[in-house]
């Protein structure tokens, strides 16, 4: 077996590298960077771009002299050519994004616009159908302000903001709530609607359509790139793990399963873990008391 690294008294062979990377959860990141390097291999930078990118890299890493540059290269085990490639990597990635998806952004934006539009809305949630109906008629008939009732009756974090939420993209609230908001006009109060264990009153305050500005272009380019990269990673076939290669006296940390993605909630607060897991809507017909 070929020794490729000597760390203290321990010799790391070529055959151990992949199992160790997998054990330390470094393999997915390593594969991702290989895929990116392959994609941007043909992307060139001008001499001016290389000089500017290198200068920014040196400034960020507090490298001010040739001696510091050499010391940095030695610590990283890199060559000057690798350092230049690292310094210009983000620029070449941006060029690759633009070259690959730039001409397709307008159509992609149109397919995503419904989720990118933003809303500001007011929300009250309760588990009591009687309270939900009573509050609905109080608001509808102008007896009390939505904000006042939200402070007193809403059972979620929105009570701390007078029921007001946003601006948030329509992809953030629960799909049931997003659908109600999409079909509403500003100022329109929706009848009590069942969302899982909750009965909700929601009023659209403001609709903010997404705009294809420079910030949105950068975001969508990155989104296209990440979708492509994830697709490439999903297609990779990893070698079967060989437990015998893992050193018995220095076990790698056990890999943890990734946490499941949080489901869309009624409010975009950090307290999503405590939010309900609502089912599809079941409109509750309010009845006058």
Cβ(129)–Cβ(192) below 8 Å: yes
Res 276: pLDDT: 35
Res 169: pLDDT: 97
Most confident stretch, 14-18, 206-210, 256-260, 271-275? 206-210
Instruction: Report residue 101 CA to chain centroid gap.
Output: 20
Percent of the chain beyond pLDDT 90? 74
Residues in Cβ contact with 263 at an 8 Å cutoff, skipping those fewer than 6 apart? 174, 272, 275, 277
Cβ(278)–Cβ(198) below 8 Å: yes
pLDDT tens by residue, 60-99: 999 999 999 999 999 999 999 999 999 999 999 999 999 9
Cβ(152)–Cβ(172) below 8 Å: no
pLDDT tens by residue, 234-267: 999 876 665 444 443 443 333 333 333 233 456 5
Q: Which domains does the chain have, with CATH numbers?
A: 1-38 (no CATH), 48-96 (no CATH), 113-207 (3.10.50.40)
Is residue 136 helix, strand or coil?
A: helix
Instruction: Give the C-alpha separation, 146 to 185, whole Å.
Output: 16
pTM equals 0.75
User: DSSP for 37-78?
Assistant: HHHHTT----HHHHHHHHHHHHHHTT--SHHHHHHHHHHHT-
pLDDT tens by residue, 184-220: 999 999 999 998 899 999 999 999 999 999 999 999 9
Mean pLDDT of the chain, nearest integer: 86
For residue 178, pLDDT over 80 is answered with: yes
pLDDT tens by residue, 157-166: 999 999 999 9
Cβ(272)–Cβ(262) below 8 Å: yes
Res 266: pLDDT: 64
pLDDT tens by residue, 95-141: 999 999 999 999 999 999 999 999 999 999 999 999 999 999 999 99
Cβ(199)–Cβ(284) below 8 Å: yes
Res 196: pLDDT: 83
Res 5: pLDDT: 87
């Amino acid at each position: 077996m070929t020794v490729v690294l000597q760390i203290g008294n321990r010799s790391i062979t070529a055959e151990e590298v992949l199992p160790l990377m997998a054990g330390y959860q470094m393999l997915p990141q390593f594969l991702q960077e290989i895929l990116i390097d392959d994609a941007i291999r043909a992307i060139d930078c001008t001499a001016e771009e290389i000089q500017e990118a290198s200068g920014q890299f040196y400034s960020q890493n507090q490298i001010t002299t040739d001696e510091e540059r050499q010391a940095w290269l030695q610590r990283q085990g890199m060559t000057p050519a690798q350092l230049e490639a690292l310094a210009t990597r983000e620029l070449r990635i941006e060029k690759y994004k633009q070259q690959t998806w730039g001409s397709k952004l307008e159509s992609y934006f149109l397919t995503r616009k419904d989720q990118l539009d933003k809303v500001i809305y007011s929300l009250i949630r309760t588990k009591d159908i009687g309270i939900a109906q009573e509050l609905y008629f109080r608001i509808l008939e102008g007896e009390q302000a939505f904000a006042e009732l939200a402070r007193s009756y809403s059972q979620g974090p929105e009570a701390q903001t007078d029921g007001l939420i946003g601006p948030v993209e329509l992809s953030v609230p629960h799909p049931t709530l997003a659908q109600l908001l999409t079909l509403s006009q500003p100022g329109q109060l929706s009848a009590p609607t069942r969302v899982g264990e909750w009965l909700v009153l929601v009023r659209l305050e403001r609709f903010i359509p997404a705009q294809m500005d420079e910030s949105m272009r950068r975001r969508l380019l990155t989104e296209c790139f990440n979708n492509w990269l994830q697709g490439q990673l999903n297609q990779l076939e990893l070698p079967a793990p060989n437990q015998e290669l893992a050193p018995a006296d220095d076990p790698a940390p056990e890999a943890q399963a990734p946490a499941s993605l949080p489901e869309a909630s009624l409010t975009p607060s950090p307290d999503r873990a405590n939010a309900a897991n609502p089912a599809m809507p079941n409109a509750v017909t309010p009845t006058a008391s």
